[in-house]
Amino acid sequence: MKLKSTFIGIGATFALAALATAAAMSGDKYTVKVPGGLAFSEFKGYESWQVINISKQEGVVGAILGNPEMIKAFEAGIPGNGKPFPDGAKMAKVHWLPKVQTTYPGPPTVAGELSNVDFMVKDSKRFADGGGWGYAVFEYDAATKNFRPGDDKSMPPQAHDAKCGAGCHTIVKARDFVFTEYAKR
C-alpha cells in the first residue's frame, strides 16, 4: 500500500510538472515578464476591467481599461482635482489593428488582430524614480499566439525595465503622468 501511495505521489508530481511546462511552452501570457520590469501576471484579470476610454493612433485602435482602484480615482475627480492616483491603481491599453466590417451597415471599423497590451501601475515606493508609475508593453505574435516583452523595435520603442513609459509621460506630470481622460458615461 505504501509503495502504491509513493507511485501515486510521484505520478502526481510529474503530472503537475508536465502541466507547468506545457503552460510555459504554450505561451501562457501570465509567465511573460519585462526583464528588470513588470510581469504580465501583475495584471491578471485585466480583460474584465472597466473601459476608461478608447484611442486611435499610429495604425491601431485601442481600449484603455482600469482596475477598480483606477476607476474609483477617476470617479473621485483624479487627476483633474490635483490629487495623485492611489498606489494600486492600474491601467491596461489593448491595441488591435483596425478592420472594416464591409458586410455591416456603415461600414464600421472594429478591432481586428491583436497587436499589443500596455500596462501601467501606480506604486510610489517601487517606482519612485518614474513618477510613481511602472510601465510595460507586451507585443502579441499572431503566428505563435504568444506575447513577448516590447523592445527597441516596438512602437513606441521600449527599454527593458519598468520605466519604459516614463519619458513620454513626463509631459503630463501635472496629471500624475496619466494621458487618459475618463470618458463621460
The mean pLDDT of 98-117, rounded to a whole number, is 95
pLDDT tens for each residue of 81-92: 999 999 999 999
Q: What is the DSSP letter of 56?
A: E
Q: For 132-182, give the DSSP string.
A: TEEEEEEEEETTTTEEEE--TTSSS---SSTTTTHHHHGGGGGGTT----P
Q: How far apart are CA 84 and CA 53, in angstroms?
A: 19
3-state secondary structure 71-100: HHHHHCCCCCCCCCCCCCCEEEEEEEEEEE
The gap between the terminal CA atoms of the chain, to the nearest Å, is 64
pLDDT tens for each residue of 41-63: 999 999 999 999 999 988 999 99
| pTM of the model as a whole | 0.80
